[in-house]
Amino acid sequence: MKPHRHESRLRPLLAAAAVALVAGCSILPTKPVTVNHEATSARVIESPTTEATPIDTTKSDTIQVAPITDTESIVGLVGGSAAAGHFKVSVPPTAFLGVADVTVRVPYPNAFQVDLAISPDDKNQFQTPVVLSMDLSQTLPDYLVAQCVVQWWNPDMQTWQPVNGSTVDMATLSVSAPLHHFSTYRVTVQGRASW
């Protein structure tokens, strides 16, 4: 018996459909994206203390958060600045002698905490105070900005301490403080333990 003319045309189409079914959409540019949550999970730590509750890195709803860092080579007699996130460090002329790398590092965008470092280490006592400032215009309502202060982490006492001279500028909605050395700093509302 001769195959029907329709069957001979149908066989290549059936074969193509079978291949497409087996291959699925895994080779198409619109294939679904799979995420390995174990590889992308991260911990967010607010401060060197155990005040902040760490995020459970085994849950699939955590996301990776990369620190934001800026390092600038600054000539002490000239001065300069470095910035990361909402934080900026302004180094006035004669803050130190020679050349040093100033690093500003925030753990994640919109963080209220910053780690400041200078290399070489012997430059970490400033002859003229360096100014740390944080732009709060996009992060807090005005009434909370007015109550903000800068604190530094004292590793010897294992506590946050206020930075003398911390001031708020309501015109720019920012807080700033003169620094005589680099350490870990945070901005907080007076009377609050942490963010």
Kindly report, residue by residue over 19-39, the tens digit of the pLDDT: 444 444 444 333 333 333 333
pLDDT tens-digit readout, 71-88: 999 999 999 999 999 999
Q: Which residues 6+ apart lie within 8 Å of 64 measured at CB?
A: 40, 41, 42
Given a cut of 70, is residue 164 above it in pLDDT? Answer: yes
**Can you tell me the mean pLDDT for 138-165?**
94
Amino acid 44: pLDDT: 34
Q: Tokens for 162?
A: 């206020």
pLDDT value at residue 63: 66
Has residue 108 got a pLDDT over 80?
Answer: yes
pTM recorded for the entire structure:
0.66
> What is the rounded distance in angstroms from the CA atom of residue 76 to the CA atom of residue 23?
63
**Confidence (pLDDT) at 12:** 53
- Selected residue with higher pLDDT from 118 and 63: 118
Q: What is the pLDDT of residue 190?
A: 83
List, in order, residues 6 or more apart from 79 with CB less than 8 Å away: 90, 91, 92, 93, 94, 95
Taking alpha carbons only, the member of 53, 52, 48, 54 closest to residue 159 is: 48
Q: Which residues contact 113 (CB under 8 A, 6 or more apart)?
A: 46, 47, 106, 107, 184, 185, 186, 187, 195
Residue 75 and residue 134: Cα distance in Å, rounded?
Answer: 23
Which of 20-29, 134-143, 150-159 is predicted with the least confidence, judged by mean pLDDT?
Answer: 20-29
Q: What are the distances in angstroms from CA 156 to CA 51, 120, 153, 160, 189?
A: 17, 22, 9, 11, 23
- Separation between Cα atoms, residue 102 and residue 40, nearest integer Å: 29
Q: pLDDT for 1-10, tens place per residue?
A: 555 555 555 5
**Which pLDDT value is given to residue 167?**
96
Cα separation of 187 and 194, whole Å?
9
Q: What is the mean pLDDT of the chain?
A: 77
Would you identify the CATH topology of the domain 68-189? Chondroitinase Ac; Chain A, domain 3 (2.60.220)
Task: Name the residue type at position 127.
Answer: Q
Q: Which residue has the higher pLDDT, 71 or 62?
A: 71
Please indicate whether residue 176 or residue 55 has the higher confidence score (pLDDT): 176
- The whole-number average pLDDT for the span 97-122 is 96
